[in-house]
Amino acid sequence: MGTARGFGTFLRDQLASQLKILNDATRTLFFETQRTAQGTLIPMTPGWHVGSCDGRSCFYKEGGGGGFHCLMRVYLQHGIASVVMTNATAFDVHACLNAFDRQFLD
């Protein structure tokens, strides 16, 4: 749980060259893709899910509960991050961020 300002601060820090919230080793681990016991890569890191928008890879975290829904993304290769927070569980946060992110990824 958090505020728009808090998520914004966290996401800006994820893209910064000098981190304030995590140290460099922790950030590296935070974005490291995990493997199964058999060694197969899975689309998750200790901090994020691994996904894409229009073929551009991103890391994302989604959450929600009774009456709210949130999705945040980090595009490390493009140096941008985005977040949408709603007071409605039925709101399509993926479609919203896809449309928003395309404006900055093209």
> What's the confidence (pLDDT) of residue 97?
94
- Taking 50 as the pLDDT cut, the residues of the chain under it are none
pLDDT tens for 45-54 read: 999 999 999 8
> What's the confidence (pLDDT) of residue 36?
96
> What's the confidence (pLDDT) of residue 88?
85
Domain ranges of the chain: 4-105
> What's the confidence (pLDDT) of residue 95?
95
> What's the confidence (pLDDT) of residue 49?
96
| H/E segment holding residue 74 | strand 68-75
What's the token pair of residue 94? 């993926």
The pTM score is 0.88
Task: For the chain, give the number of residues.
Answer: 106
How many whole angstroms separate alpha carbon 83 and alpha carbon 72? 4
